[in-house]
Structure 1
Amino acid sequence: MRILSAITDEKFDMSNVVKHYRLGKRSDNVRPLLVRLKSKVLKNLIMESLNNLKNLDDDLKGIGIGHDMTKNQRIKCRELMNLVREKEAADKEDFVYKVRGEPGNLKIIRIKKRLH
């Protein structure tokens, strides 16, 4: 809760969580935590606020948040990421390629580079 409320600027509380549990077998290793939320709007709020992870306290610096994807979805995402790298290497114009969308509905988008 401390992590989620910190990255969403206190817009998140425990009433938004339907279920949460650790994945994998008990051991001394760090295990992922699966959190099921009430709505996709809350998930989108969290995923859009991930850039705030860098502002967390030192004891929470190693935290990562990602989509819960099936094995096939992870493979598809990895393939798209490799395709993005190839497109960026071959692009002679000022564009950046990104993989966007929900798991299972990912697509590559082309964005004009910003010149500062």
Structure 2
Amino acid sequence: MSRVLRVLLPLAILGVGAGATALLIKHRRVAKPAPPEVVLPLVRVASLSPTNHQFVVRTQGTVSPRTEINLVSEISGRILGIAPGFHDGGFFEEGEVLVSIDPRDYELNVTRA
């Protein structure tokens, strides 16, 4: 092979490659950005309405009162009546009469004194 061919052939290959590269760059297509795909999540919908629901809780333990009192009479006498709320777990208001005592014994003792 001649010396000229050895030099020109690689230069020609490089020139063709450079020309092809320039041609591709000049006529390249600009990619259009694709619109983002909106993926809607799948959901299940339930119509709800308020209801009264009662359930049973089975448990064991000791129940203790929040407050506890000792009911002591200042005078003796026969009990005439007990307030309706005066029982285990009952409620009563401050100043409410819990137990009514027959006043005759007390009045008799006051008269004797």
Q: Same fold (TM over 0.5)?
A: no
TM-score normalized by the length of structure 1: 0.16
Task: Say which structure is richer in strand.
Answer: 1
Whose Rg is larger?
2
Task: Say which structure is richer in helix.
Answer: 1
